[in-house]
Structure 1
Amino acid sequence: MHRYPTVAEVTEAARRLVSRFPGACRLRRIGTSRAGRPLLMLSVGHGPRHVLVVARPHPDEPVGGATALALAERVAAGDRRSPATDPDAVTWDIVLCLDPDGAALSEGIEAATAGPDPTLARYYRAAFRPVAAEQPEWAPIVGRRLPESRALFAVIDELRPVLQCSLHNVDAGGTWVQLTGDLPGLAAPYAASASALGIPVQHGTYDALYWENPAPGIHVLPPPDSTARLAAGSENIALSTWCAPQRYGGVTAIVEVPLWATAPADDRTPHPDPARALRDLSALVREGGRQVTAVFDKARDFLPPAEHSPPRRVLEWMADDLYDLVADAWQPLADQARSASDSPALTTAGISALEVVARRQPLRAAGLLLRLLDATDDPASAALHHELDGLFTTWCTEFEQSLHLRPVPVHAQVELQTHTVLAAAECALGR
């Protein structure tokens, strides 16, 4: 496997599985996206207990479709090496793509990351990630119920899964897992699988800065009364689709695997000067954001209006305060650094994870803006495109060199994610 499958290819492969295993597999429509695209779910097995898998919740994270197919094939073929894959005991329900509209706007990301030597430049020019209010898993947190969110909530209420697995990529770094409830038996098989595949386990991550961290790469959502809950993501995170299975005693595992591994992702030595590093990273994300926004401001008058352009909405959202929001989130860490407090986020690995975030944000915006400038014939667009392309190219090079990025083969990403989901299912079923 040298590239990720497209949404259309995943759907066609699921239909073939139904034809090959008509007694084991069913494909049904669980809803319709905002733009009228079908939301399809492949169910495999007939067991009374359910494991729910959600692929492609973020359109710029393409690994989930391939992992979904690998899981479905294994269960459909009658693999009983694990209680989790016994089709008479467990039904696997796999949402093939939760955000097909976003995936359509990331069309080309599969080709852009294909082959043995994918580049950041090709990836960020093809990738699209919607604003938070248009991300199906997170939109309910800000009070918006998208049809995709409603469809997923309905499936959770219908199936009452013991485990929900949300399949994610991180652009650069190591692998990690976020849990809404502890699965104590997961850490050992997860670490063994990552080690066997040569993928570093991320020590410290921006996504779970203040989550409980019982084992390397394993993060558990803090209790509702935690004073760090806001920093963990949102004080309203319980409204997300991640937490919905808790109503029925279920757990959600968010499984992250990297497109590119960073050299220091698993380096747990204390960073020599974390306070200075955090100041530098805050300045990096603010300055990169300022430079992209300056080009965006010059192009506003001839770009498509935000109400008709999801990429324009992302650029407006980022220009508004996102860069400052990211930088400001690190202030408590800077305070910890000054007090010599022990924290995974202050190790060499933890600081490198924050560097990924600092470098990623301006690149995401620049990639989207370059696409919009490519699509317009306004006389001013060529000069702005040239100006921004120079920044974009420099930032990609600095990102690759600073963190010593190496591409993780697609088959290795899929194998790690598949093994992790199966291990999590075994743990959840045994609770």
Structure 2
Amino acid sequence: MMNRYPTVAEVTESARQLVSRFPGAGRLRRIGTSRAGRPVLMLSVGHGPRHILVVARPHPDEPVGAATALALAERVARGDRLSAATDPAIVTWDIILCLDPDGAALSHGIEEATAGPGHTLDTYYRTAYRPVAAEQPEWAPIESQQLPESQALFRVIDELRPFLQCSLHGVEAGGSWVQVTRDLPELAVPFQASATELGIPVQHGTFDALYWENPSPGVYVLPPPDSTDRLAAGSENIGLSTWCAPQRYGGVTAIIEVPMWATDLADDLSPHPEAAHVLRELAGLVRERGRQVTAVLDKARAFLPPAQDSPPRRVLEWMADGLYDLVADSWEPLARQAAAASHPDDPHRLTTAQVCALDIVARRQPLRAAGLLLRLLKTTDDAAAPGLHRDLDELFTAWCTDFETALRLRWVPVHHQAEHQARTVVAAAETALTALQ
């Protein structure tokens, strides 16, 4: 039974073994090369005329997709014909094993850090790396950046014209949800059934999609590119992302999120009794903790590696340059809305789940920055570094404990995360395939 996330090397080796074990069923090929020269590999299983494209590890700090990708490949290679979507004679599954291998290398150790027993947010954030938006392959095109990883994905989409693209994401804490570029009505029931069976809460309300159409619990439909119904922190050019590329050929994309740590607050639909007050407290929390991390960064800038040579340093500078305020400011309309709600049934009242989603974001932003800065401070030999590391480490440890306690977090076993994500992918595939017939 899988008890930790596989590394990129382990996923690659497993893919090679699968091709050997099932002669003729699978093909492994290089579809591109990363900025640092690492291969971007795609495993294709099946020979059907229709294509499903699965993108694993688009974010390096979200390793669950690698485990899910292997489970899906194994299922199709075995000739699982429990549904048309997994019949290798009908559908070819094209699985990008890791879209951001450079980022995954900078998250080295994350797999062991989250292997039980004893895994905590503390060990996770000390190893996790998440690039700036312009260096995230799915997101970079909307930031006017042409990364080779993004271009490789676009080429595959143009070559295969998938009727479905599934992007495999994870979230540190909360519940599970799906974002789709077009509603897939038949997805709702199997998605919720899987989450219930595996003890994973469905996320009702999420920072990523607060203002999006929400046709069923945990399912959110991406607004049209020209819509203003998105967070201030969102992009006005979402149509340029790799998520929207399959629309050129009538395809749909599903972004499937599963939590590492779950909180039952994520699916609590009761009205929050003090939403406006709590939102303003959370805005203050993200600003203040961001300020504390930035204060340490200010003292360390002179001896840290320059931003042009250090991806972690670029993240720290990006976050210090107004990101905390951008996040906090985007919640003010919600706080005003909640304050104006006059009675318990007022539709403007925010639920406990919605407030929980923002609580998670407020706590994780400074932790991401602090974890990266601790790593940089540990690798420098400047005389000031140990003292700064000690001071920041004290804050970091307290914030992790506060996060776990405030949201009553519990670990979701890796095999449950991957199983739920795989089931959701298959359900999305069945729904999208049926719509074509």
TM range, smaller chain: over 0.9
Q: Answer yes or no: is the 8 Å Cα contact 2:286–2:363 preserved in 1.
A: yes
- Whether the 8 Å contact between 2:319 and 2:369 is mirrored in structure 1 is yes
- Partners of 1:202 and 1:359 lie apart in 2 by 17
CA distance in structure 1 between the partners assigned to 2:106 and 2:407 by the alignment = 28
Question: Aligned partners of 2:285, 2:83: CA distance in 1, in Å?
Answer: 47
Paired residue secondary structure (1:97): coil
Letter aligned with residue 342 of structure 1: P
SS in 2 for 1:186: helix
1:77 corresponds to:
78
Q: Say whether the 8 Å CA contact 1:209–1:232 is kept in structure 2.
A: no
1:352 is paired with a residue whose SS is helix
CA contact (8 A) 2:233 2:330 kept: no
Give the superposition deviation at 1:273. Answer: 1.3
Q: How much has 1:338 moved relative to structure 2? A: 2.4
Contact kept? 1:167, 1:255, Cα under 8 Å: yes
Q: CA RMSD in A?
A: 1.1
Aligned match of 2:419: 415
Measured in 2, the distance between the counterparts of 1:123 and 1:301 equals: 27
Letter paired with 2:82: R
What is the CA-CA distance between 1:234 and the residue it aligns to?
1.4
- Residue deviations 1:345-371, cap 9 Å, x none? x21011011000000000000000000
- 2:434 aligned partner: 430
Q: Does the CA-based 8 Å contact 1:210-1:231 persist in structure 2?
A: no
Residue 321 of structure 2 corresponds to: 320
8 A Cα contact 2:209 2:230, kept in partner: no
Indicate whether 1:166 and 2:167 are aligned.
Answer: yes
Q: Is the 8 A contact 1:37 1:100 kept in 2?
A: yes
From 369, 389, 395, give the equivalent of 2:399: 395
CA contact (8 A) 2:183 2:221 kept: yes
Matches within 5 A, 1:250-261: 250-261=251-262
Please give the per-residue CA displacement for 1:107-147, whole angstroms capped at 9, x wherever unaligned.
00000000144100000000000000000000001111100
Q: What is the identity, as a one-letter code, of the residue corresponding to 1:351? A: V
Alpha-carbon distance in structure 1 between the residues aligned to 2:231 and 2:289: 26
- Output the amino acid matched with 2:14: A
AA of the residue aligned to 2:275: P
Equivalent residues in 2 for 1:83-98 (5 A)? 83-98=84-99
Equivalent position of 2:227 in the other structure: 226
Query: What amino acid does structure 1 have at the position aligned with 2:187?
Result: L
- Other structure's SS at 1:41 match: strand
8 A Cα contact 2:107 2:128, kept in partner: yes
CA contact (8 A) 2:52 2:429 kept: yes
Distance 2:160 2:254 in 1: 17
1:64–1:167 CA contact under 8 A, matched in 2: yes
Q: Distance in 1 between matches of 2:119 and 2:318?
A: 28
Shift of 1:230: 5.6
Cα distance between partner residues in 2 of 1:336 and 1:255: 29
Query: Partners in 2 of 1:158 and 1:173 — Cα distance?
Result: 36
279 and 151 in structure 1: CA distance in 2 versus 1, 3 angstrom threshold? same
Q: Deviations over 1:199-243 (max 9, x none)?
A: 000110001111110111000012344331464821100000000
- Contact kept, 8 Å, 1:84 with 1:90, in 2: the verdict is yes
CA distance in 2, matches of 1:380, 1:174: 41
- Cα separation, 2, equivalents of 1:26 and 1:103: 23
Structure-2-length-normalised TM-score: 0.97
1:64 is matched by which residue type in structure 2? G
* Partner of residue 377 from structure 1, selected from 370, 375, 381: 381
Unmatched 5+ residue regions in structure 1? Answer: none
CA contact (8 A) 2:58 2:137 kept: yes
Query: Which residues of 2 match residues 238-387 of structure 1 at below 5 A?
Result: 238-340=239-341, 342=347, 346-387=350-391
Distance 2:231 2:276 in 1: 22
Q: Distance in 1 between matches of 2:227 and 2:33?
A: 37
Report the CA distance between 1:8 and its aligned residue: 0.2
Cα distance change of structure 1 residues 5 and 343 upon mapping to structure 2, 3 Å threshold? farther
Query: Alpha carbons of 1:183 and 1:343: their partners in 2 closer, same or farther (altered >3 Å)?
Result: farther
In 2, are the aligned partners of 1:117 and 1:407 still within 8 Å (CA)?
A: no
- 2:105 aligned residue: 104
Q: 1:147 to 1:192 in 2, by over 3 A?
A: same
* Aligned-pair CA distance for 1:161: 0.4
Q: Does 1:36 align with 2:37?
A: yes
Q: Distance in 1 between matches of 2:334 and 2:425?
A: 32
Distance 1:374 1:232, change over 3 A: closer
Whether the aligned pair in 1 keeps the contact of 2:226 and 2:236 (CA below 8 Å) is no
Provide the secondary structure at the position in 2 that maps to 1:164. Answer: strand
Q: How is 1:111-150 mapped onto 2 (pairs within 5 angstroms)?
A: 111-150=112-151
Q: Secondary structure at the match of 1:265?
A: helix
3-state SS, counterpart of residue 186 of structure 2:
coil
CA deviation after TM superposition for structure 1 residue 262, in Å: 1.2
List 4+ stretches of structure 1 deviating above 6 A.
none
Identity %: 76
